[in-house]
Amino acid sequence: MKWNFLTRFVALMLILVIAACQPQANNVLPTVMDVGGTDASDAATATMATALAATNQPPALPATWTPSPEPTLLASDTPVPTPETQVEGGGHLFYIFNNDSVVRLSADGASEELILVGTSPADLSLSPDGTLLAYTAEGSGSASEVYVSNLDGTYTQRISCLGFSRIVKPTWSPDGKTLVFAGSQLPDGLISIYSANFAGSGDCPNGNNQHLLGQLDQNTVDSFAWNNDGSLIFFASNAIYGINALTGEMFPPLTQPTGFGPDTSPAHNPHSPQLMYLKTKLDEKTGTKGGTIYQINSAQIETPPVKELPGAPLKAQGLRWSLDGRFLAVSGERDVWLQDQQTNTSVQVVAGANFYPQPVFSPDDSLVAYVDGGATAITIQQIFVVGRDGNNKKQITFHKEGTISDLNWSAN
């Protein structure tokens, strides 16, 4: 009897050892992939781009997963919002969390997940059709490059192949085929401006037509903006400049800064030749500096001098158009105004926020998402949604810590 018991015990242990040695499923959150060394053909890249644009249902993550490398995890007081915090908003918001991860958040706040982890993503930008995300991230060694990912992070393609220490501000063309960005070989070196296509990026620089558009005598670029038909690129580097996207011709400075600070934040109406930007001016009564809204007609920049038309002196810091081109979101340090271009009226939708609001329109332009401190912890950044009329404010994240930047809102 004793012998039979030992025999069964040894047999059972052997079975357990054999089972432990079998390959196990590895549920790992997809991370940024440096595919620059892979042999991806132009046809394969184009096929992937078509497939991404054709689907609104990205593959779901495994039920359980372990991010790699380990990110700063999302910590929420309330994982699923209560009925009082639900909002009627479609699609998903995307943002950079703690400067090390990209997050996808459902517009009603019911689900929030890390989709890209590590490699210090920055300058997140949603494609015009709302199906792809562009951003900068660490490449090989100390280099930074431009990447594009789908909306669940399962597909990532490197776009640039410069090997520079600094790459900034990738910005989509209106047709979603090309990205313009800036870079410098040294962290504080003079800026060069490049463009590259999404298709063919597996064979960079030849396959995706990566090429130099211009060399600046300054080491900063504030932001880029394409005109509505994609023929012109505008950017801010002390003054506002323009580049012919087809010929690469760079125009002389289109604006004249006041001397109190630079002209910044070019934002082009998606449906008209209306280029808005901010001009730094001094408030003589208070002694403070702030951005006054100005505009130029982008269809007339080839016949100088360009006429700069002044607008509201709101001490603004950022501008963003609605998708239909009717509303302009004007961000102050703690406030947001919406300017209606049809009625020539303004509504303040955010007042006295605890952080720079970073407003972004919903896909149907009826709502605005922005960043503020939570109701119970004003020093922790949270995402809120408010109606275009400034009513029905809702908090949709409930983090215990962390930072939020680069808000984008997709219908998908």
C-alpha torsion angle, residues 164, 167, 171, 177 (rounded to 10)? 20
pLDDT at residue 275 greater than cutoff 60? yes
Expressed in angstroms, the distance from the first to the final Cα of the chain is: 67
The share of the chain scoring above pLDDT 70, in percent, equals: 78
Average of pLDDT values for 100-127? 96
pLDDT classification of 73: cutoffs 50, 70, 90: low
pLDDT in tens, 20-55: 444 443 333 233 333 233 333 344 444 444 444 444
Give the confidence band of 140 by pLDDT, cuts at 50, 70, 90.
confident
Q: What is the mean pLDDT of residues 377-393?
A: 96
2 exposure class (CB count in 10 Å sphere: 0-12, 13-18, 19+):
exposed
pLDDT of residue 236: 97
Q: Summarize pLDDT for 151-193 with one digit per residue, the tens.
A: 999 999 999 999 999 999 999 999 999 999 999 999 999 999 9
Quote the pLDDT of residue 304: 78
- pLDDT of 114 strictly over 80: yes
Query: How does the average pLDDT of the chain come out, rounded?
Result: 83
Distance CA 373, CA 327 (A): 25
| Separation CA 188–CA 208 (nearest Å) | 27
What is the per-residue pLDDT for 14? 42
Give the pLDDT score at 316.
94
C-alpha closest to that of 95 among 412, 385, 408: 408
Mean pLDDT calculated for residue range 254-264: 96
What is the mean predicted confidence (pLDDT) over 249-261? 94
Record the pTM. Answer: 0.81
> What per-residue confidence (pLDDT) applies to 50?
46
Is the separation of the CB atoms in 162 and 116 below 8 Å? no
Q: Please, which pLDDT band fits residue 101 given cuts at 50, 70 and 90?
A: very high
> What is the pLDDT averaged over residues 116-143?
94
Task: Name the E strands within 85-177.
Answer: 92-97, 101-106, 112-117, 122-126, 132-138, 144-150, 156-158, 166-172
Residues 223-240: tens digit of each pLDDT: 999 999 999 999 999 999
